Amino acid sequence: MRAADYLDPNEQAYVEQKSTVTIAILKEIWMPYWGGTGQEPIGIEHDFASGIAKELGINIEYKGFDTIEALLNAVSTGKADMAIGFGQTLAREGKFLFSQPVYENVRVIWLRDKAMEEKPFASLKWVCIQGTSYCEILKDRGYPNIIMARNYSSSVEMIRQGIADATVTNYVSLNHYLSQKRLALGKVIFDPDLGVQTNRILINKNEPLLLSAINKVIDADKEGLTENKLNSADVYFLNDQANLNILRNENVNPVVRYTIQDDLFPMSYWDEKEKKYKGYVHDLLERISTKSILKFEFVPAYGRDVEDMLRHGKVDLIPSFNMTYVDDRYFIHTGRYTDIQFGYIETTRPYTTPITGILDRTGKFNAYIAVQKNLSDVKVYRSMYDLEQALEKGDITHGLLNKVLINQMLLDGHQDAFKLSPLTEGQDLRVDMTMLVRKDARGLQNMLQKVLATFSQQEIDEIKGAYDRVTVYFGYDKQKVLIYALIILCGLLSIGLILTLSLSRLRGKLRSSEALLPK
């Protein structure tokens, strides 16, 4: 349906006569909202502006300004017709015409340091961008120490340098900046009392027909009547919208329980020295929790089948799973987000016939690897210790295992028992990994897909790379030892009970036999 089909004659005549709409924007880059005036228009604001303009059949012209305040002043004085992506606040009432809501953002608090969370927020130094509604939020909360920044970059720099302690922002701006700059995360807090930011188009007060025409486009878009959906394909924007869906969907719990097989360094392992679970899977989920409203609770497997735990609702997520072995009868996945690289090691002992041992601690790799590498004589080992022993005893000549574990073996001083195999040259094997959820968890799947899309490959590699060269103190937590001990004890008691019952029956039969003998 064309706009002509739902605009009245006055609106249609106005659009035809107007031909070009002037949109006030910032001169500088504020991605992902706006890419600056020195290049082809890009960003979320341009996505919505071009969508509305295409629907109305008019041209758009961008006019750049140095600050938010100058931008808004241009719209109120008629130097520009409108500006996209601003809230309707008390301070702006009477100065502009406000369109219907165009999109919303989830507001969050970003603290410079995790320790700041323990302090009264009123005692912190807050920074906001002058002219934005976030400054009004801070004033409404009665915070006495508010610093005005010229732009988003300046506000973040103040936090980095300790000039300010905190700011109110949204997931779109924060996630983009943190992903690009690789800053220390501090602490991101989702506060429901902050509500959501409802973004509209601010229009000059002398343009009521422009307002009514744009509102009709927005209404038509909600009904699916526009030729093109008003939206943005920006990954940070889509992640933010997925967070909004979680907030409004009572069937999706933002607290996600997850598990992973025991002792899977570098993905997950118990660090005996620090007495806690570590690994890049836990670090990745912690980073995801800063980029979304999702919060994660780890449920150790303690020897249980993790797929059974997921299928029966004991957990909601397996965050690291071989994509080749997803059972689509019960599960759906997020798509590939990383891979595991396997490499070869070779014994230093002489041998005539090569025999390869595969370290497969989950049972989800050996068949796939054997096919991919065209291996026929293969032995499978479930622990690093068993593979090392087999290599030292000569049971195998080569080992195929996670490259990070090879680095760990070198760090642990095992280089005399093996050498890096020339077979690795040009033959490295990569196994695609995904996150697994139950088939009925479409909302969680969508949220994870959207937030994972905000991670660059470099960001994922940095999280994983933290475990390339670490000193690992492997061990078992006390609860794990206790559970295993109880399982063994129960097994022994069961065997003892069976033996006792068997002996009792045997004695009974012997007594019966003796009673029947002639005296």
Give the per-residue pLDDT at 203. Answer: 98
State pLDDT tens for residues 310-350.
Answer: 999 999 999 999 998 999 999 999 999 999 988 888 888 88
Cα 421 from chain centroid (whole Å) = 36
Could you tell me the pLDDT band of residue 499, with boundaries at 50, 70 and 90?
A: low
The residue among 175, 187, 188 whose CA lies nearest residue 455 is 175
Q: What is the mean pLDDT of residues 204-233?
A: 94
CA atoms of 80 and 67, how far apart (whole Å): 14
Spatial CB neighbours of 437, under 8 Å, sequence gap ≥ 6:
310, 316, 317, 318, 331, 332, 333, 334, 444, 445, 448
The answer to whether the beta carbons of residues 131 and 69 sit under 8 Å apart is yes
Helix (H) or strand (E) holding 236: helix 235-248
Residue recorded with tokens 């993790």: 306
Write down the mean pLDDT value for the chain.
87
The answer to whether the beta carbons of residues 138 and 126 sit under 8 Å apart is yes
- On the question of pLDDT at 473 being above 70, the answer is no
Query: Can you list the positions of beta strands (E) in 146-275?
Result: 146-149, 166-170, 187-189, 196-203, 255-258, 269-271
Spatial CB neighbours of 367, under 8 Å, sequence gap ≥ 6:
none
Percent with pLDDT over 90 in the chain? 60
Which one has a higher pLDDT value, 374 or 221?
A: 221
Tell me, what amino acid is at 161? Q
HEC profile of 198-231: EEEEEECCCCHHHHHHHHHHHHHHHCCCCCCCCC
Query: Within 13 Å and on the Cβ side, how many CA atoms surround 109?
Result: 22
The mean-pLDDT minimum among 192-196, 282-286, 361-365, 421-425 falls in: 421-425
The answer to whether the beta carbons of residues 130 and 146 sit under 8 Å apart is no
Burial 434-454 (b: 16+ CB within 10 A, else e): bbbbbeebebbbbbbbbbbbb
**69 is written with which tokens?**
């305040």
Give the per-residue pLDDT at 400. Answer: 85
Residue recorded with tokens 């429901």: 192
CA atoms of 509 and 519, how far apart (whole Å): 18
Give the per-residue pLDDT at 502. Answer: 61
Which one has a higher pLDDT value, 47 or 409?
A: 47
Could you tell me the pLDDT band of residue 40, with boundaries at 50, 70 and 90?
A: confident
Could you tell me the pLDDT band of residue 430, with boundaries at 50, 70 and 90?
A: confident
State pLDDT tens for residues 186-208.
Answer: 899 999 899 899 999 999 999 99
The answer to whether the beta carbons of residues 129 and 70 sit under 8 Å apart is no
Residues in the chain: 519
Q: What is the mean pLDDT of residues 35-58?
A: 92
Whether residue 32 is preceded by a cis peptide bond, meaning omega within 30 degrees of 0, is: yes
The answer to whether the beta carbons of residues 411 and 475 sit under 8 Å apart is no
Could you tell me the pLDDT band of residue 374, with boundaries at 50, 70 and 90?
A: low
- On the question of pLDDT at 363 being above 50, the answer is yes
Q: CA separation (Å) from 114 to 9, 110, 184, 274?
A: 58, 10, 11, 20
State pLDDT tens for residues 230-281.
Answer: 999 999 999 999 999 998 886 778 999 999 999 899 999 999 989 999 999 9
Give the per-residue pLDDT at 378. Answer: 80
- On the question of pLDDT at 152 being above 80, the answer is yes
Which one has a higher pLDDT value, 481 or 85?
A: 85
State pLDDT tens for residues 127-148.
Answer: 999 999 999 999 999 999 999 9
Could you tell me the pLDDT band of residue 412, with boundaries at 50, 70 and 90?
A: low
Burial 399-416 (b: 16+ CB within 10 A, else e): bbbbbbbbbbbeeeebee
CA atoms of 420 and 345, how far apart (whole Å): 5
The residue among 341, 334, 232, 234 whose CA lies nearest residue 288 is 334
The DSSP bridge pattern shows strands 97-98 and 429-438 to be unpaired
Q: What is the mean pLDDT of residues 496-518?
A: 57
Phi, psi of 298 (to 5 degrees): -85, 130
Percent with pLDDT over 70 in the chain? 83
Give the per-residue pLDDT at 299. Answer: 98
Give the per-residue pLDDT at 371. Answer: 58
Which one has a higher pLDDT value, 512 or 173?
A: 173
Return the SS3 of 84. Answer: strand
State pLDDT tens for residues 286-317.
Answer: 999 999 999 999 999 999 999 999 999 999 99
Q: CA separation (Å) from 505 to 18, 47, 267, 492, 496?
A: 101, 83, 52, 20, 14
